[in-house]
Amino acid sequence: MDNIRKKNKVVFGQNFLTNKDIAAEIVDSCNFSAADDVVEIGPGEGVLTGLIAGRVKTFTIIEIDPFYYNLTKGKFNKINPAPNFVNEDALKFDYAALSKSLSSKIRVISNLPYEISGPVIDKFIKEKDAFSDMTLMFQKEFAERLYSKENDSGRGALSVIAGLNFEIIKLFDVGKSNFNPAPKVDSTVLRLTPKYFEDTDYVWAAGSQFFNYFVHQLFKLRRKKLKNSIYASFFGVPPDVKEKIFSSLDIDLNKRPQELTSDEFIKAGRQYDDYLNMIEKRYNK
């Protein structure tokens, strides 16, 4: 059994939380009630699971690793109400369908494997209407990037996109000694709550693949000032047009991407999109 467990940890990148006091602190921070529909991703040996099972309306447990799926199911399948055990990749699970079937938004809790942190945030953004909130543990450095604001050194494309879609609050840090196997870095627990807007430009940006691409393109040249990066290729938009876009919005061309506010990204992205749509219409005439 130990050999199987060791092999699976290597394959799926799990670092299991072993400190029961910290587990209780994480679950307590959620303030789950008997009316909540909860999803746990990657329960592992069940240190969080045991504090939730039987105390919420519905409890869905998603575990990709067959060993830990069977281990968790064996521990908790007799609890009433019985959890719903799912042996599936959390990145492929249909959260929107679950929310629809329950006629309720779901609450997520997870100590995520570090290697899927970025993809799982992308997944949650795409299906954010399914969620009430998410309490997630990340590698500390990744968490800092996730909630970085303008002028923070760690700010990147993910900071802008995630911050547009979620209210992100840092709850607390967790030292690496509280895991088995111990990771090389500390972790941070965050609370993510979906954000919605009435402003049409913000609504557009939150759901726009173009805006996502636009932000990523700017951050490819994060060390360059805008006055220099406007010469880089971007859908063939001429440098003089780019300069006019930023100048018309009173965005200082001496700024670097991480210095822009979300509002500045959205306004600039909208104008880029409008310009490209205008060119496309001219071409199709």
pLDDT in tens, 222-270: 888 999 888 887 777 889 999 999 999 999 999 999 999 999 999 999 9
114 backbone φψ class: left, alpha, beta (φ>0; ψ -120 to 50): alpha
The gap between the terminal CA atoms of the chain, to the nearest Å, is: 68
DSSP assignment, residue 48? T
Residue-wise pLDDT tens digits, 199-218: 999 999 999 999 999 999 99
- Cα separation values, 115 from 11, 153, 226, 264, Å: 11, 22, 32, 31
Sign of the torsion angle spanned by Cα atoms 255, 257, 258, 259: positive
Q: Which residues contact 51 (CB under 8 A, 6 or more apart)?
A: 23, 24, 27
Cα–Cα distance for residue pair 266/238, rounded to 1 Å: 20
> Which domains are assigned to the chain?
2-194 (3.40.50.150), 200-284 (1.10.8.100)
181 preceded by a cis bond (ω within 30 of 0): yes
Task: State the helix-helix crossing angle for 262-284 and 209-219, rounded to 10 degrees.
Answer: 110
pLDDT above 50 for 64: yes
Taking alpha carbons only, the member of 22, 272, 12 closest to residue 137 is 22
- pTM here is 0.90
Averaged confidence pLDDT in the chain: 91
Residue 266: is it exposed, middle or buried by C-beta count within 10 angstroms (0-12/13-18/19+)? buried
